[in-house]
Amino acid sequence: MITVGLFVRLEAKPGKEEELAAFLMQGLKLANRETTTPVWFAFRLDGGSFAIFDAFADETGRQAHLNGPIAKALMEYAPDLLAEPPTIQQLDVMGAKLS
């Protein structure tokens, strides 16, 4: 059962929008390797605004993700790609339909 999640807002630096989009598409490959991340979405909200939503069975899974390769890569590339630090919101999942 999915009980917790993350919502991460990302704002690309001007001219870096497509690089950030490509970075997020690569993030899917990393997310597919994370056994404790059953739900992962990356999307574009508008021109330079992006977001990631992911969800986990429990707090252990969420913390594993926050300390995993996607988060490390995001922090490594953030100074070059992002206009501001990512906004990371932890949330409790009230309900989910996954199929």
| CB-count burial class (<10 Å; 0-12, 13-18, 19+) for 78 | middle
What CATH code would you report for 4-92? 3.30.70.100
d(CA 61, CA 86): 20
**Domain map of the chain by residue range?**
4-92
- Confidence (pTM): 0.93
Residue range 43-75, pLDDT digits in tens:
999 999 999 999 999 999 999 999 999 999 999
Q: Which two tokens stand for residue 10?
A: 């990302």
